[in-house]
Amino acid sequence: MFSKETYIDRRAELKKLVKDGIIIIFGNNESPVNSPANGYSPFRQDSSFLYYFGQKREGLVGVIDIDENKETLIGNDIDIEDIVWFGSVDTVKELGEQVGVMHSAPMKELKTICSNAMRSGRKIHFLPPYRSDIKIQIFDLIGIHPNQQKESASLDLINAIVKMRSVKTAEEIEELERAAIIGYKMHTTAMRLTKPGLTEKFVAGNVDGVANSYGSMVSFPTIFSQHGEIMHGNPSMAELKDGRLVLCDCGGETINHYCSDNTRTFPVNGKYTQRQLDIYNVVVEAHDAVLELAKPGIKYADVHFAICRIIFNRMKELGLAKGDTDAAIAAGAHAMFLPHGLGHMMGMDVHDMEALGQIYVGFDEETRPNLEQFGTNCLRMGRRLQEGFVVTDEPGIYFIPALIDEWREKKHCSEYLNFDKLDAYKDFGGIRLEDDILITKDGCRFIGKDRIPYLPKDVEAYMNA
């Protein structure tokens, strides 16, 4: 947790941005695995609640009455039954005081606060809920049905939080640097362990253990798969095979819940083939080009399409693509190789603030998403970069057999793709390289003092040391 003053200052700025009404920020409750007493562990607090109220205990709600300049931490104190099992904990009043909130109340008081506000015609600001229990609670409190709550969420509050959380402060950047250390340990553990005969599950389980031992938890479910063409390939019981590539996309959270997110693709046997290097080096070129292109004032969508041009041009050199590059990208042909966006915001969430709505986080009135074109519709971050933004740089090249077959059958982008040659890559898999970058005053830099090996010679040297 940061200093008390950090949370006081954040709430003060939030009040200025939202201007009037009552802000309600719900913390998370325990989420049961298969019974109420068997919850997912460790407990993960809602990120916006953490940002403004700092406390990790379940069953809390933060209330900010802008008009009366009153802040209240809502929650029930635990009873002796809980103390027997979990030990003594601070009272809700004490939790509030630790982050500069001088008022506290039991959960039943929240209904009174909401009823009084509605009776007076005051605006109640809440965020789009993503958990069913919170949706039911909102329904009980203010009578908005769960299927209407996303549309009824406060746009003023969403925009204010996006504005604040997008630009990382010095203390947040320090936390992200700590997260990068965890990410480095996770990825190098995977490289050291990987060899033919082990299962994907075995390596991924060890990788997850690193996150648990050095921080709070993984920042998202670890992706570790020889089928790198599957974007979110869960680790399976499949044995690692000599000659295959394995894609590892993982990250950890610090104790204060700031995330890392990196991807590496490496040979199971520790040695790339020339065929693999032909594709891998294109991804390296695209990955490194972002460092030259990303800077304040530049649209990340423009960086994305610059990377698409690099990839498509190199695919033409390898005989897998053809035709005018700009026309091919306008038609969406590049998505055969790169069917996702270049990156996303990073911070307290690995896809930072995604629950608030990607259209508000990654886009703005100037830069709008293209939801119609395959591949481009997965671009999460398109708006102009600002100093203090943290985004991922994650180009990739994938050979997806079902996509190749479908586009061939439909003759989709046939003037730009050599399907006969693509057929020969159906057994290839996919390659992705990902790092987290901080937008600085004049450009950008990678987050993390130690670079996870990614150049082919460095990967091979590390795996065979």
- Please give the C-alpha separations between residue 389 and each of 11, 18, 274, 302, 449, in angstroms, as whole numbers: 20, 22, 37, 16, 18
Task: Tell me how long the chain is.
Answer: 465
pLDDT of residue 85: 80
Domain match, 338 and 190 both: yes
Statement to judge: residues 186 and 77 lie in one domain: no
Q: Are residues 249 and 280 in the same domain?
A: yes
Please say if the pLDDT value at position 82 is more than 90.
no
Q: Please, what is the Cα angle at 451 between 447 and 457, to 5 degrees?
A: 150
Q: What is the pLDDT of residue 147?
A: 96
**Burial (0-12, 13-18, 19+ Cβ within 10 Å), 164:** middle
- Residue 265 has a pLDDT of 98
Residue of 276, 203, 273 whose CA lies nearest to 237: 203
Which residue type, as a one-letter code, is found at position 154?
S
The Cα 210–Cα 212 span in angstroms is 5
CA angle 180, 185, 188 (to 5 degrees): 120
83 pLDDT above the threshold of 90: no
The angle that helices 456-463 and 170-193 make with each other, rounded to 10 degrees, is: 60
- pLDDT of residue 189 exceeding 90, the answer is yes
Distance CA 337, CA 320 (A): 10
Phi–psi pair at 63, nearest 5 degrees: -120, 130
What does the mean pLDDT of the chain come to? Answer: 96
With bands split at pLDDT 50, 70 and 90, how would you rate the model's confidence at 142? very high
The residue among 166, 199, 231 that closes a domain is 166
Query: Is omega for the bond preceding 42 within 30 degrees of 0, making it cis?
Result: yes
Q: Are residues 405 and 281 in the same domain?
A: yes
Q: How crowded is residue 424: how many other Cβ atoms within 10 Å of its Cβ?
A: 12
CATH code assigned at 25? 3.40.350.10
What CATH number did the domain enclosing 457 receive? Answer: 3.90.230.10
Phi, psi of 332 (to 5 degrees): 90, 15
Residue whose pair of structure tokens reads 């993960």 in the numeric block:
44
* Model confidence at 7: pLDDT above 90: yes
Residue 358 belongs to what H/E stretch? helix 358-361
Strands 103-105 and 70-74, sheet pairing: parallel
Residues 257 and 180 in one domain: yes
The single-letter code of the amino acid at 175 is E
Percent above pLDDT 70 for the chain: 100
Query: What pLDDT is recorded for position 1?
Result: 86
Q: What is the DSSP letter of 108?
A: H
| Amino acid at site 387 | E
Does one domain contain both 182 and 91? no
Q: Is the pLDDT of residue 112 over 90?
A: yes
Q: What is the mean pLDDT of residues 156-182?
A: 98
Are residues 133 and 18 part of one domain? yes
Count the domains in the chain. Answer: 2
Can you give 195-255 as a three-state secondary structure string? CCCCEHHHHHHHHHHHHHHHCCEECCCCEEECCCCCCCCCCCCCECCCCCEEEEEECEECC
Name 411's bridge partners: none
For residue 260, with 0-12 CB atoms within 10 Å meaning exposed, 13-18 middle and 19 or more buried, which class applies? buried
Q: Do 300 and 438 share a domain, yes or no?
A: yes
Q: What is the full DSSP assignment across 283-322? A: HHHHHHHHHHH--TT-BHHHHHHHHHHHHHHHHHHTTSB-
pLDDT tens digits, one per residue of 391-416: 999 999 999 999 999 999 999 999 99
Residue 256 pLDDT > 90, yes or no? yes
Residues 357 and 247 in one domain: yes
Q: What's the whole-number mean pLDDT along residues 51-72?
A: 97
pLDDT exceeds 90 at position 84: no
Q: State pTM to two decimals.
A: 0.95
pLDDT over threshold 90, residue 87: no
Q: Which domain holds residue 279?
A: 170-464
Query: 109 with 190, same domain?
Result: no
Asked if residues 398 and 301 have their Cβ atoms less than 8 Å apart, the reply is no
CA distances from 264 to 99, 154, 433 (A): 39, 39, 5
Tell me what pLDDT residue 79 has: 87
Final residue belonging to a domain, choices 117, 144, 166: 166
Task: Count Cβ atoms below 10 Å from residue 5 Cβ, excluding itself.
Answer: 10
Mean pLDDT calculated for residue range 91-103: 97
Question: How far apart are alpha carbons 392 and 219 in whole angstroms?
Answer: 14
Report the pLDDT value the prediction gives residue 88, as an integer from 0 to 100: 80
* Angle in degrees, 0-180, between the axes of helices 155-166 and 4-18, rounded to the nearest 10: 140
Neighbour count for residue 88 (Cβ, 10 Å): 9
Last residue of a domain, one of 132, 166, 200: 166
Beta strand 32-35 with 38-39: parallel, antiparallel or unpaired? antiparallel
Tell me: the pLDDT tens digits for 284-340?
Answer: 999 999 999 999 999 999 999 999 999 999 999 999 999 999 999 999 999 999 999
Q: Cα–Cα distance between 167 and 34 in angstroms, integer?
A: 39
pLDDT band, residue 36 (cuts 50/70/90)? confident
CA–CA dist 317, 218 (Å, integer)? 39
- Residue 129 pLDDT: 97
DSSP code of residue 403 = H
Is residue 242 domain-shared with residue 157, that is, in the same domain? no
CA distance 458 to 451: 10
How many contiguous H segments (helices) and E segments (strands) does the chain have? 17, 17
Examine the pLDDT at 266 and tell me if it is beyond 90. yes
Answer yes or no: is pLDDT of 86 > 90.
no
Check whether residue 67 and residue 143 sit in a common domain. yes
